[in-house]
Amino acid sequence: MIRFENINKTYPGIQPLHVLKGIDMNIDQGEFVSIMGASGSGKSTMLNILGILDDYDTGNYYLNGTLIKDLTEKRAAEYRNKMIGFIFQSFNLINFKNALENVALPLYYQGLSRKKRQIKSMEYLDMMGLKDWWHHFPNELSGGQKQRIAIARALIANPKVILADEPTGALDSVTTEEVMQVLSEVNATGITMIIVTHEKSVADKTNRIIHLKDGIIEFDSPNNHEIPGI
């Protein structure tokens, strides 16, 4: 499903920053993976490359068998739209659009008609238990609700992979529990789930933990193993 072959990434500058130093990684369809690491370890860069939001310098990245390399912006947008769902720490909902419109946005970029968009969005809101909240704007919703709307938005285009960047970072422990529950339910439907986090409790909910340190994979282990040093 996802294959990294010796991925290297350097941010240019007066002192070039070598962030990813030859990452090799394989993630299969339906896996529930967390990527951990201290800040500066390269996990955000890795997520950006995974989400085709950023380029890499050398190596190969295959997504669903396709080599993701030197894509035009348009192709990249298409892949993001069809293959990848994003969930962010700060939800990243659009403030002047209500819940329904936010969920429907990926479908807008797929060119679906307004009517179809609304029906499908309502379906996904219902799935997240937020059907009655469809007309509310993000600032009228709680953190958990916002994140569930974001999840609905990530799911609506039927992606192969969901990339979650600290999805529980802005949530309290009860809501965190709730959101993780939703995410593992989503994973159970066969969607590959990759969560970037530095919370051990969150990582513990996943089935595989990849630990990054200074641009290389320090540990890559199935869960239930104690990870030293954390």
Q: In the set 9, 80, 146, 205, which binds another protein (CB under 8 A)?
A: 80
Q: In the set 18, 21, 82, 136, which binds another protein (CB under 8 A)?
A: 82
Q: How many residues bind another protein (CB under 8 A)?
A: 24
Q: In the set 8, 81, 89, 184, which binds another protein (CB under 8 A)?
A: 81
Least distance between another protein and beta carbon 71 (Å): 12
Bridge partners of 66? 63
Per rule CB under 8 A, is residue 73 in the interface with another protein? Answer: yes
Quote the CA–CA distance of 168 and 37 in Å, as a whole number: 16
Per rule CB under 8 A, is residue 136 in the interface with another protein? Answer: no
Q: In the set 26, 109, 129, 216, which binds another protein (CB under 8 A)?
A: 109
Per rule CB under 8 A, is residue 229 in the interface with another protein? Answer: no
Quote the CA–CA distance of 209 and 201 in Å, as a whole number: 12
**In contact, 60 and 67? CB cutoff 8 Å:** yes
Report the first-to-last Cα separation within the chain, whole angstroms: 29
Closer CB to another protein, residue 15 or residue 72? Answer: 72
Per rule CB under 8 A, is residue 77 in the interface with another protein? Answer: yes
Quote the CA–CA distance of 39 and 50 in Å, as a whole number: 18
Burial (CB count within 10 angstroms: exposed 0-12, middle 13-18, buried 19+), residue 46: buried
Cβ atoms < 10 Å from Cβ of 208:
17
Quote the CA–CA distance of 120 and 157 in Å, as a whole number: 10
Contacts of 150 (CB under 8 A, 6+ apart): 87, 88, 91, 92, 93, 102
Q: In the set 10, 64, 110, 184, which binds another protein (CB under 8 A)?
A: 110
Least distance between another protein and beta carbon 108 (Å): 6
Closer CB to another protein, residue 196 or residue 217? Answer: 196
**In contact, 118 and 73? CB cutoff 8 Å:** no
User: Which residues 139-178 are close enough to bind another protein by CB under 8 A?
Assistant: 153, 157
Least distance between another protein and beta carbon 88 (Å): 8
Per rule CB under 8 A, is residue 53 in the interface with another protein? Answer: yes
Q: Given the rule CB under 8 A, which residues bind another protein?
A: 51, 53, 73-74, 77-78, 80-82, 86, 92-94, 96-97, 105-106, 108-111, 114, 153, 157
